Amino acid sequence: MPAHVIHDQLSTRLRALQPSVTLVISQLARKLTAEGRDIINMSSGELDFDTHEPIVRSAIAALHDGQTRYTDVGGTPALKAAIIAKFKRENQLTFTPRQIIASTGAKQIIFNALLATLEPEDEVTIPAPYWVSYPEMVRLTGAVPRYVEPGDQDDFKLTPARLEAALNANSRWLLINSPGNPSGALYNAQELRALGEVLATYPRVLVISDDIYEHIVYEGAFVSFATAVPSLAARTLTVNGVSKAYAMTGWRLGYAGGPEWLIDGLSLLQSQSTSCPSAIGQAGALAALNGPQALLPEWCGRLRQRRDVALSLLRQAPELKVATPPAAFYLFVDCRDLIGKRSRQAKQCMMTWRWPPIC
């Protein structure tokens, strides 16, 4: 892959930023596909299902109805009402309109929350393995990502002891992603409450609960952090969106509920950057949240079948080790036993190296 080139006239902060590996690979896959190559794109966290037709029809109707203008910065009143109803219905969380914001994807909300609250010496605690964008977002604010590695028996989840060891006077945020990308880890209520007991002694630490894979659960039950730990709800930003559950990644519509002071800050920042999210994206999200939800368990069942088939194939390779993820649509494969080894096919590929490789 060509080297990542940053011009020396860009800011120091931007020059230190790494591009999203996921998006770089996705762009390359699309380019090769357009050239006629047979490519399996395993980069982006994206369903290959089409957006449900009633959602599409609702958005088209909104277009014809003239819903193509600016809306309130944080989303239309109708969309905020739908988000409030969703949080109440599915997570037993109660919010007011002033505690809700809609943005151009959940990614924007997380970045804006970090930018709105972090100072240069602050730290953000990020359990590993993690989504590739978390640490780069933190670095872009000038703050410091602090990684917490899981133990061998932790099922890729943060434990109270490891959290306690990671926190200090500079700690500002804990990032909880459940179900997790890329591990598929799923916290239960008891595990979240145990983390909450540690956080209770660190009143400066806020919590981002990234729930974007909420509806993709095969075994166990999803619970949001603020639901499990209501005593810390005033310090929690609960982030979600329509991208994963409803196959609407390109609609770019995320939302969050949190304390008024933080939502006010996010709205202020958004007003001077992207303004409101897409009016048509909002119309689609409104239809998704308010419409029939029967497609969610149906899609989840199809994804479970795919997971099981992929697991059976991977486990035919003795050098590969992979646990059964209870949620999300990733397999986090331990390939350490293969590092340094070469198959005859790989050796030939290395001898005739070019980019992209043809093996």
Residue by residue, DSSP assigns 326-359 as SBSS----B-GGGTT---HHHHHHHHT--SS---
Residue with tokens 């599409």: 56
Tell me which of 290, 307, 328 is where a domain ends: 290
| 40 and 57 both lie in a single domain | no
The domain in which residue 37 lies consists of 1-44
pLDDT digit string, tens, across residues 241-287:
999 999 999 999 999 999 999 999 999 999 999 999 999 999 999 99
162 with 193, same domain: the answer is: yes
Give the domain CATH number at 67: 3.40.640.10
Beta strands in the chain (DSSP E): 100-103, 123-127, 144-148, 171-177, 206-210, 236-241, 254-257
User: Does 136 have pLDDT greater than 90?
Assistant: yes
Quick: pLDDT tens for 75-90. 999 999 999 999 999 9
In the chain, the percentage of residues whose pLDDT exceeds 70 is: 94
Residue 325 lies in a domain: no
Query: 192 and 276 share a domain?
Result: yes
Same domain, 150 and 274: yes
In this structure, are 26 and 111 located in the same domain?
A: no
Q: How far is CA 162 from CA 1, 165, 168, 202, 237, in A?
A: 37, 5, 12, 15, 22
Pairwise CA distance, residues 173 & 205, whole Å = 5
Q: Average pLDDT of 33-41? A: 84
Total domain count, the chain = 2
Query: Do the domain assignments include residue 347?
Result: no
pLDDT for position 23: 72
- Statement to judge: residues 39 and 57 lie in one domain: no
Mean pLDDT is lowest, of 44-48, 267-271, 276-280, 296-300, for 44-48
Q: Which whole number is the average pLDDT over 188-198?
A: 98
Residue 238 belongs to some domain of the structure = yes
Kindly state whether residue 317 falls inside one of the protein's structural domains.
Answer: no
The answer on 34 and 101 residing in a single domain is no
Q: Are residues 141 and 100 in the same domain?
A: yes
Do 73 and 24 belong together in one domain? no
Of 43-52, 71-80, 239-248, where does mean pLDDT reach its minimum? 43-52
